[in-house]
Amino acid sequence: MSNPPAVENFCAFFNKLDKTCTEKLYEVYTEEVVFNDPLHHIEGRKALERYFAAMYENVERCCFTYHTQQQQGNQAFVTWTMEFVHPRLAHGKPVSVEGCSALTFAEDGRVSQHRDYFDAGAMLYEHLPVMGRVIRWLKQRLG
């Protein structure tokens, strides 16, 4: 069974996204897009463009493996594993993070609302020198 074109376009775009093509967000997002993740709340495509440009500034590699993709009407849900390499995180080794995206599409098939769910500690905090040790210690104590 094939996935709806809007979901396919979204997934394909993110696997091409890097610091050189953030200006092409208009292909996937509406002008008034609202984006949320555990670390940010962003309104508007220009603000989202600045966010992605800053985020990808030092990322050496980032790719997504998509798992479940479901769409009903203008709502979609995509689960994924993101693997990225950043020289200041995990000593420059690949970091993998599981997550999902809840999407709302406008009439033209572009995303008008995008909410990402993922463990911010697994993505960022656990890989920082001092904070990482503290978070890993806490997880061991609570687990």
pLDDT tens for each residue of 65-90: 999 999 999 999 999 999 988 887 76
Q: Quick one: how far is CA 131 from the chain centroid?
A: 22
Q: Are 126 and 97 in contact (CB under 8 A)?
A: no
Confidence of residue 93 (pLDDT cuts 50, 70, 90): confident
Confidence of residue 135 (pLDDT cuts 50, 70, 90): low
The pTM for the full model equals 0.82
Higher pLDDT: 74 or 22? It is 74
Q: Which CATH number fits domain 5-142: 3.10.450.50, 3.10.20.30, 3.40.50.150, 3.10.20.600?
A: 3.10.450.50
Cα(136)–Cα(65) distance, rounded to whole angstroms? Answer: 26
Residue 114's DSSP bridge partners are 35, 103
**What is the average pLDDT across 24-45?**
95
